[in-house]
Amino acid sequence: MPEGDKVFLTARRLRLALVGKTLVRSDFRVPRYATVDLVGDLVEEVGSYGKHLFIRTTTASIHTHLKMEGVWRTYCAGERWTRPRVTARVVLGTDDTEAVGFSLGTVEVLRRADEHTATDHLGPDLLGANWDAAEAVRRLARHPAQPVGLALLDQRNLAGIGNIYRSEVCFLRKVHPATPIDAVPDLLALVNEAHRVLTEAAHRPPWRALVYGRQRRPCQRCGALIEVRPLGETNPASDRITQRERGIYYCPRCQPEPA
């Protein structure tokens, strides 16, 4: 699943292609919005919040989430698409450009005034202009027994981190992913690290992973072999444990497991 930096960069690319142009085609290939017609609307803004992307026109906000397989591609008008046409969920056309959302996990057409309903449940946006580290710390601290590797993945705490960057942030702070939130030595420093890493990835791509995907390879800090393991996911509301297929990567020497 694309993380906050990839969605941020997608928004930048769509902004360059669409903003300031009038739509001559709008095709929503999802049943709920199949009859929506935004032809004649001016594209005013394109932005992101965590993993959510918004294309804002004169009358609407097109909210999309890429989920696991989604992607936005831009083409010159009339250019052949590079993905199967059957996977297109949204097509937005101007006189010279087509923006196509393929295999999108979420598609909504909202009133501009209602856009907040898509993000009200989320924590502070790590790449947002109003990033609030103190609020992210407050939200994380609400569940002191939750492993930090899971808490970072919970978009209700802070928005934009996925499996790659939760591994990277824990490694950089020398914190084992299974460490409970209340045992993290400096929660604010960890949150600031997350902000720094994602900002660097978004503004100076590509980010070079230090631990993610490097299982059985030497740690670049101490030489121990990087390990990967699943981490039980706790739902704070129900205390129910489930297992995720996605593993979390760490160095057993730099990030000793909590007792």
| Positions marked active-site | 2-3, 51, 246
Q: Give the separation between CA 229 and CA 227, rounded to whole angstroms.
A: 7
Q: What dihedral angle (degrees, nearest 10) is formed by the CA atoms of 180, 186, 187, 188?
A: 180
How far is the C-alpha of 53 from the C-alpha of 121, rounded, in Å? 15
Task: Calculate the CA 142 to chain-centre distance.
Answer: 22
Query: Which residues 6+ apart lie within 8 Å of 110 measured at CB?
Result: 60, 61, 62, 63, 117, 118
Token pair in block for residue 250: 């760490």
| Contact by Cβ (8 Å): 89, 109 | no
